[in-house]
Chains A and B, each alone.
Chain A
């Protein structure tokens, strides 16, 4: 499905971040349009996660604003956030986890079969999630992105725990999402091949 996102912009102006009393970066601004992507680079602890959490609305910026211009609600309501933790409930089965994600974040996306097949998990559908390996849990978290369609994808080190095949699938997913009008913001300390992506580099208290 395509997002009706032509006039929508994700904008940040003058955003600064202070964590544990330490300033991580200040004065960051960007604008992201439909189909666009941003890669956030920097070493561990630089502030990449904080930036993503600020965009999602999970963390308040010390200064500045982040908003979805032309969009119906807040950024958080239009975003997927994939953090270091997978948000997978071990006591539920793989498909129960996906069903819950759909109920929580909105349905209308790929069915469980399709989403899990794309990520190579459909043999494990009814398995309790606590039996999955770290890589499989990561892929289950990614399946969420397909099952519940949302405009903005905020991915924090999504390739962690993924093997080469998994990375391929992820890049494919991101490209398709952008083709459909979605937006992607990826934080990574490695290079990730994304076409036409603006790069934000956070290091030593500055963001460029």
Chain B
């Protein structure tokens, strides 16, 4: 089995077996969506208008959950040293870990999105497009977050710091993501904003692992 697929599988196994993982992110997302109407009022037209924004902010925050753990857990048990000794390029190893994290945390959110969309008054015909925008955007968030995860791997309370570092740079994803979702709801199609979303996400898919590898090499000690 190739090194990279072994890393993805191992991280998935650990995430699924060791509690947390897919479940907690989805529950967090669901809880967030539920409390918004309590804050805003059960005004369906308003909720429909801000629905995509809330979905995206929720997905963003839920993705940042456990972001710092991507490398911190390995740092704490000595596995990170082993990863650095592998013959595989560190950038690809970082990407493999990012992929595993997204599969365990981001993908479940995408799957749950149509259900939550209904709660927020999104038309059924638009739910697939909505989920698709999140499907494209959440990997961008995760891979961008790889840098913050790598920088805070050895820090004691890296969680909040990682989120603080990632959020400003995820604003472009948020902007194009929400607008893509609005367009998807309006006429069930995906236009120019969606293409920008794809482009930015792809850019982070490359930048994230490269910067994360640099951080792992230079910052650990």
Residues of chain A touching chain B, judged by Cβ–Cβ distance below 8 Å, are 53, 56-59, 73, 76-77, 79-81, 83-92, 96, 99-101, 103-106, 128
**A88 CB contacts on chain B under 8 angstroms:** 77
Given contacts A91-B13, A100-B10, 20 further A-B contacts (CB under 8 A): A53-B221, A57-B85, A58-B84, A58-B85, A76-B85, A81-B81, A83-B78, A84-B78, A85-B77, A85-B81, A87-B77, A87-B81, A89-B10, A91-B18, A92-B10, A92-B17, A104-B85, A104-B88, A105-B82, A106-B87
- On chain A, the residues within 8 Å of B78 by CB distance are 83-87
| Interface residue from B17, B76, B84, B88 paired with A91 (Cβ < 8 Å) | B17
- Judge whether A92 and B81 touch: CB under 8 Å: no
Please tell me which one of the listed residues B6, B18, B81, B221 contacts residue A83 in the complex, with CB atoms under 8 A apart. B81
Interface flag for B31 (CB, 8 Å): no
- Complex partner residue of A92 from B14, B76, B220, CB under 8 angstroms: B14
* B79 interface residue per 8 A CB criterion: yes
Contact A103 B77 (CB under 8 A): no
Question: Given the complex of chains A and B, what is the CA–CA distance between A76 and B101 in angstroms?
Answer: 26
Query: 21 A-B pairs, CB-CB below 8 angstroms?
Result: A57-B85, A58-B81, A77-B85, A81-B81, A81-B85, A84-B78, A85-B76, A85-B81, A87-B77, A87-B78, A87-B79, A87-B81, A88-B77, A89-B14, A90-B77, A91-B14, A92-B14, A100-B6, A103-B6, A104-B82, A105-B87
Residues of B66-105 whose CB lies within 8 A of A = 76-79, 81-88
**Assembled-state Cα–Cα distance A164/B183 (Å):** 70
* Chain B at the A interface: SS class: helix
Contact pick for A76, options B6, B14, B84, B221, CB 8 Å: B84
Within 8 A of A (CB), among B3-62: 3, 6-7, 10, 13-14, 17-18
- Minimal beta-carbon separation of B150 from chain A (angstroms): 15
Per a CB cutoff under 8 Å, which of B2, B14, B17, B220 touches A103? B2
Shortest CB-to-CB span from A189 to chain B, Å, is 19
Q: Are A79 and B17 in contact (CB under 8 A)?
A: no
Contacts of B86 in A (CB 8 A): 77, 104-105
Minimum distance in angstroms from B79 CB to a CB of chain A: 5
B13–A96 touching, CB < 8 Å: yes
- In the complex, chain A residues whose CB is within 8 Å of the CB of B77: 85-90
Q: Which 10 residue pairs spanning A and B have beta carbons closest together?
A: A85-B78, A103-B6, A87-B78, A91-B17, A91-B18, A91-B14, A87-B79, A104-B86, A87-B82, A76-B85
Q: Which residues of A contact B88 (CB under 8 A)?
A: 104
Cβ–Cβ < 8 Å partners of B81 in chain A: 56, 58, 81, 83, 85, 87
Contact across chains for B83 and A104 when beta carbons are under 8 A apart: yes
Given contacts A86-B77, A100-B6, contact A73 B87 (CB under 8 A): yes
| Closest chain A residue, CB of each to CB of B82 | A87
Query: Inside 8 A of A73's CB, which chain B residues have their CB?
Result: 87
**Shortest Cβ distance from B83 into A: residue:** A104
